[in-house]
Chains A and B, each alone.
Chain A
Amino acid sequence: MLTDRHKAEIDDILSRYPVRRSALLPLLHLAQKEEGYVSDAAMKEIAAILRLTPPQVYETVTFYTMLSLKPVGTFHLQVCKSLMCALAGSDNLLGWLQARLGIKPGETTPDRLFTLSAVECLAACGTGPMMQVNEDYYERLTEEKVDRILADLKRDGTSPLKSGPFMWPEPASNKS
C-alpha cells in the first residue's frame, strides 16, 4: 500500500492543493515510480485517498502517455521520433536499438530489462537524436554512445552519459 510507505509524502502532496483531485497526477507518478506501472490496486487506493471512484482515476490515467497500465522493463528506452529528431537521425538510432535489443518499439526484452518505445517530442530538439530512459535524458546520441549507455545500464543501473542541467550550446568556458 502506498499509504503505508509514503504517508508523509502523500500528506505533503495533498497539502499543496485546495481541491483533493489535483493530487491525482502526483499520486499516480508516485505509484508508477514504486511499481514501474500503475496497477489496479494503486488506482483503487488512490481513488480512496482522493475520494474519487476508480473509473475517475482510470479515465485520467488513460489520457496521459507517461502513465502505463502494463508493467514495462527495468529500463524504459523512449526514443523521440518527431520531425526535429528525425532530421538529426532518430530513425537510424531506433533501428540500431532494435537490432541491439532484438525487439521492436512497444516490446520488452525477454529478460524484462529493456522496453523500447518511439515517442513524440521531448523538448530536446537541438540535441537530437535523443532518448529518455526512465527519468533521465540522453542526448546527441551516436551508435557508440548508445552501446555504452546500454552496457552501463546493465552493469550499474545508470550511466554517466545522462544529461545534467541543460544548456546548449554550452557556455564557451565550459566546453570540453
Chain B
Amino acid sequence: MPIYEPVLLKNMSQPGYTGSLKDYEKAGGYRALRTVLGKITPAEVTHLVMKSGLRGRGGAGFPTGVKWGFLPKDYKGPKYLCCNADESEPGTFKDRQLMERDPHQVLEGIAIACYAIGVETAYIYIRGEFVLGANILESAIAEARAAGYLGKAVLGTDITIDIHVHRGAGAYICGEETALLESLEGKRGLPRVKPPFPAIAGLYGKPTVINNVETLANLPHIVNRGPDWFAAIGSPPKSSGTRIFCVSGHVKRPGNYEVPMGITARELIFEQAGGMRSDKPLKAFIPGGASAPFLTPAHLDVKLDFESVAQAGSMLGSGGVTVMEEGTSMVWAALRLTEFFFHESCGKCSPCREGSSWLVQTLRRIMAGQGRMQDLETLTDLCQNIAGRTVCAFGDAEVSPILSTLKYWRHEYEELIRAAEAAGPAELLMPTATRH
C-alpha cells in the first residue's frame, strides 16, 4: 500500500503529540505567521494562496484566494473572517480531529488569513455538540494570546487579530455560509438570498469571508513550503493538495485518511481503509457526504478529485466517503438520508420544507410495503420541483440520495412496490402537509 506524506495530520501522528502550543512550536508551528506578518504584503499572501490552487474543503470547492479577492479593495470599516467549523454533513468528521488534536494549526491558518484580508476579528463557528473541541480551541487561543501570536500587537507589529469561538446549537443548515452568519448574529439560521454575497455584505452587513477549518489549516503549510509545492500535490491544476477523506460504513478500518487528491475510490476504500468489513462485496458508496449522489462499484476507479467525481455524476463535497455492502437496501439508505434532510430543512423555502416531508412520507410508505408504482413518479416529480428552486443548495442536496438510488437501483423500489401490490389493493395515499 502506498504511504503518503501527511501534511495536516502530520503533527498529531507523532507519538506523544498533545496539540499544546509547546508541541506545536517544536514542530515548527507559527513559523509561517512570523514569515508573513509585516514582511510579505497582504496582497502577496493572497496571491500565494491563489497560486497554490487551494480550493475550499467544506463542500463547494471554491478557490480560496479568489474568494478573498472578492472583498472590496480599500474598504475602511470592519471586516470579518468566519471559520466554518459547523461540520454537519453526514459522513464527515475531519474538522473535529483537526481542532481537537492540533488546534494551533487551525489558529495559525486563521491568523494568516486575517492578515491577508485585513481582518481584526475572526469567529470560529463550531457546531454546538463539539463542546470538547470548543474548549480545546478556547484554551489554545488563550495560549496563543499569551505568547503574542494573537491579540493586540501580534508578534510586535501593530496588527490586531482576535479569534473568538462561537458555538452553534444543533442545526445542519448553519454550515451554509449565509445561514452561519444569521446564526452568528443570534437569529434562526435561515440562508440569505444572494446576492449580495458575504464578501460584500456578510456578518453585520460587513465584508466577510467564510472558510472551512481544513482549508484554513492548509495555509501555514502553503506559506512554509511554497505555493508550487502545494500545487504539485494531487491532481493539478484543478485539485491540488491533500484531502482528508472520512471513511465510514462497511469497511474494516473506518476513519480519517489524508491522501493526495486524485487517488481512486478503490485505493481509498480497499487499501487505506482496509476493504470491506466482511466477505460481502461493495454495493454502493457516497463520495462526498450525504449531499453527494450515490455511486456504484463501476465507479471505483474514479479519481477522487473535484472534476473526476463531478464527471461521474456526483461530487467530492466534504470528503465524507460512506461505503455500503451488498445486502444493504438502497431504498432504506435513501430514506435514512431523506429523514435527515427533512429534520434539517430550515423551513424558509416551500419546495424544500414541504417537499422533504412529502419525500419522507412517500419513501416510508414504500418501505412499509404500501407503495404503488405511481409513488416513483411522485418521487421524481417532487425532486424535480425541489432542486434548483430554493434559496440555498440544500434543495439540490436533499434530492441526491433519491435520484441517484432511483437511477442505479430502481428495481429495488419496484420490487418492494410489486410485493405490496401483490399483497392486495390499498388506497393510494397522498402525502399530507408537513408534520414535524
Contact = CB atoms under 8 A, between A and B. Distances in A.
Interface string B185-214: 111110000000000000010000000000
B320 interface: yes
B186 A83 contact: no
A26 B132 contact: no
A29 B167 CA distance: 9
State the main secondary structure of chain A at its contact with B.
Answer: loop
B388 interface: no
B187 A126 contact: no
Interface string A81-118: 11110111000000000000000000000000000000
Interface in A121-153: 121-128, 132, 135-137
Interface in B254-276: 254-256
B331 interface: no
A167 interface: yes
B237 interface: no
Which size bracket describes the interface of B in this complex? 35 or more
Contacts of B299: none
B350 interface: no
B242 interface: no
Contact of B340 (A82, A87, A164): A82
A64 B170 contact: yes
Contact of B169 (A25, A86, A127, A166): A25
Interface in A1-25: 16-19, 21-25
Contact of A29 (B87, B128, B322): B128
A53 interface: no
A65 B183 CA distance: 13
B183 A171 contact: no
B12 to A, nearest CB: 6
A48 to B, nearest CB: 15
A25 B168 contact: yes
B93 interface: yes
A137 B339 CA distance: 23
B15 interface: yes
A87 B87 contact: no
Contact of B254 (A66, A127, A136): A127
Contact of B131 (A25, A83, A128, A135): A135
A42 B96 CA distance: 31
Contacts of B204: 18-19
A169 B324 contact: no
A16 B96 CA distance: 23
Contacts of A122: 129
Contacts of A127: 93, 254-255
Interface string A151-168: 000000000000111111
11 contacts: A21-B186, A25-B168, A25-B183, A64-B128, A84-B320, A84-B322, A121-B290, A123-B95, A123-B127, A135-B132, A166-B96
Interface of A: 16-19, 21-26, 28-29, 50, 59-60, 63-67, 81-84, 86-88, 120-128, 132, 135-137, 163-169, 171, 173-174
Given A124-B93, A125-B91, A171-B12, 11 more contacts: A22-B184, A65-B171, A67-B169, A67-B170, A83-B340, A121-B88, A125-B90, A165-B100, A168-B97, A168-B256, A171-B13
